[in-house]
Amino acid sequence: MSLRLPSEIVVERFLPTVRAMLAVELDARGLTQQEIAAHLGVTQAAVSKYVGGGGTIEERFREDPRTRETVARIAEGFETGTMDGYEALAELLGLIRAFEDRGPICELHEEAMPELRGLGCDLCVRGEDATVRAEREALDAVRRAARRLATAPGVAAYVPNVGTNVGAALPGATDESDVAAIPGRIYAVAGRVEVPANPEFGASRHVASVILAAAAVDPSIRGGINVATDDRLLAAARDRGIEPQSFDAGYDDRDERLRELFERRGVARVLYHEGDFGIEPITYVLGETPLDAAELLVALVEAT
């Protein structure tokens, strides 16, 4: 992992860009280079370089209207004497906070630390807390489970036409936005499992609904995967002592019907339907985590 702090982005990319923009703006307003240097806390030589078009410029900062508006306010304040260094600093800190909230600083930080991509990182804004940690863990769990499916021989043969998805519910999840999954679903291409994107919350409907119904009855169940219904998989489950639960394929009141089923019979690790008009037969494999569900699915595939 390449450990990079957001503050490094501020120092190396944001600050030089804003200083250069301020130097050019103050020069256009008629301030001398010595006066500009005093305002910016740099040397006159640095101001000369900025005004001449030199220095480090990050276009994402320069082209952002919020940067231009802030620079214009500070420049006008310096020119008219209505803003001092303290007030200018407050303006820039406000801009930095805005850019750290899924803005250009966040984008550049993710480029510098690719490990952050897809994690919904809000460290700069909210800090490390239990909610953020749970979200990161759910996203990472989906990512690891999807990777397991992509590398396991034979799984591609059981990916349905509608695609497979992997879901992970947050503790206490109540709706689909609390379940992480793969946007666009996972598909089989030329006998391989292809994972098209990093996981996001709210990216699944059907897998999420099954996980939520199961978790409402058994909170330990937080992961699930859908595959094509196949007699060989169901037989392999029975051989492992898992009796698959069947349910009606219809979408009307499915959540309620699944909860009633689970309340009556408990939550099975494998459940399935035989399809209906316009509905492909689907089997769901559940687990305490998505990786648990993936390992069970791989074991069933290996047994067929």
Confidence label for 100 from pLDDT (cuts 50, 70 and 90): confident
**Pair 168, 223: CB distance under 8 Å:** yes
The two structure tokens encoding residue 294: 């993936």
Which residue, of 116, 142, 166, is where some domain finishes?
116
Kindly state the helix (H) or strand (E) to which residue 148 belongs, with its residue range: helix 130-151
**271: CATH:** 3.40.225.10
Residue 155: is it exposed, middle or buried by C-beta count within 10 angstroms (0-12/13-18/19+)? buried
* pLDDT single digits (tens) 26-61: 999 999 999 999 999 999 999 999 999 888 899 999
Q: Where are the alpha helices (DSSP H) in 59-103?
A: 59-62, 65-80, 85-100
Confidence band for 123, pLDDT divided at 50, 70 and 90? low
Helices (H) and strands (E) in the chain, counts: 14, 9
Instruction: Answer for the pair 78, 71: CB distance below 8 angstroms, yes or no.
Output: no
My answer on whether 151 and 285 are in the same domain is: yes
pLDDT grade, residue 99 (50/70/90)?
A: confident
Task: Specify the number of domains making up the chain.
Answer: 2
Q: Are residues 108 and 42 part of one domain?
A: yes
The verdict on 202 and 283 lying in the same domain is yes
Residues 193 and 146 in one domain: yes
- pLDDT(133) > 90: no
Are 199 and 271 members of one domain?
A: yes
Q: Residue type at 162?
A: V
- Report residue 81 CA to chain centroid gap: 45
Q: Measured at the alpha carbon of residue 185, what is the angle toward residues 181 and 186, in degrees to the nearest 5?
A: 110
Where would I find the beta strands (DSSP E) of the chain?
Answer: 166-169, 179-181, 187-189, 192-194, 200-201, 223-228, 245-246, 270-272, 282-287
- Establish if 178 belongs to a structural domain: yes
> Which of 66, 86, 116 is the C-terminal boundary of a domain?
116
H-state helical runs in 175-284: 206-217, 231-239, 254-265
Residue 124 lies in a domain: no
| 269: in domain | yes
| Encoded amino acid at 104, one letter | P
Same domain, residue pair 106 and 30: yes
Residue 92: which of 122, 62, 67, 126 has the closest Cα? Answer: 67
Q: What is the pLDDT of residue 146?
A: 95
> Inter-axis angle of helices 206-217 and 254-265, to 10 degrees?
40
Whether residue 122 is predicted with pLDDT greater than 70 in this model: the reply is no
Range of the domain at 214: 130-303
In a domain, 122, yes or no: no
199 in the same domain as 59: no
| 34 and 97 fall within a common domain | yes
CA 275 distance to own-chain centroid: 32
Q: Is residue 178 pLDDT above 90, yes or no? A: yes
Which residue type sits at 62?
Answer: R
CA–CA separation, 298 vs 304, rounded Å? Answer: 10
Residue 170 is given by DSSP the state P
pLDDT classification of 106: cutoffs 50, 70, 90: confident
- Of 94, 116, 138, the residue at which a domain comes to its end is 116
Do residue 69 and residue 151 come from a single domain?
Answer: no
pLDDT for the residue numbered 86: 87
Average pLDDT over residues 249-262: 92
DSSP bridge pairs for 223 = 168, 287
State the average pLDDT for the chain. Answer: 90
Residue 125 maps to a domain: no
The more confidently predicted of residues 180 and 131 is 180
Q: Tell whether 48 and 196 lie within a shared domain.
A: no
Q: What is the pLDDT of residue 171?
A: 93
Q: Is residue 36 part of a domain?
A: yes
On whether the CB atoms of residues 31 and 74 are closer than 8 A, the answer is no
Same domain, 144 and 291: yes
What is the Cα–Cα distance from 159 to 94, expressed in whole angstroms? 49
pLDDT digits (tens, 9 = 90+) for 218-234: 999 999 999 999 999 99
Pair of tokens at residue 152:
């396991």
